[in-house]
Amino acid sequence: GYADMLEKFVPYMARKGWTLRYGLQPVIGDLRELTHLWEAPSMDAITDVLDELTNAPDAEVQEILSPMKQFVHNEKIRLLRRTSYSR
C-alpha cells in the first residue's frame, strides 16, 4: 500500500539530495492525515524536483507513484525553514 510506495520513493528522493526527516501519523483525530517533513539541500533542489514531478517525471518515479491516486485525496506542500532557536 502507501507505505510500500513510500519505501521506494524515499530512496528515489535521497538520490536527489532530499532526506525524509519525519513521517508522522496522528494517534487521535483523522488517522488518514499524514505529514512528511523533508529536508532539501537547496532552494534549487526544491524547484527542480517539484518541476520534474509535475511536468516531466521519469519512468522510475512514474512507476513508484502510480498508486498515489488511490491513497492521496488532498496534498499540501509548504516550504518551511528552521527557526533561529531550533537545533
Between CA 80 and CA 17 the distance in angstroms is 17
Q: What is the pLDDT of residues 26-55, one digit of tens each?
A: 999 988 889 999 999 999 999 999 999 989
Q: What is the pLDDT of residues 6-30, one digit of tens each?
A: 999 999 999 999 999 999 999 999 8
**Cβ(26)–Cβ(33) under 8 Å?**
yes
Between CA 54 and CA 9 the distance in angstroms is 15
Residue 61: which residues within 8 A CB-CB, separation 6 or more?
9, 12, 52, 53
Give me 44's grid cell. Answer: 534549487
Task: Provide the strand spans (E) within 8-84.
Answer: 19-24, 35-39
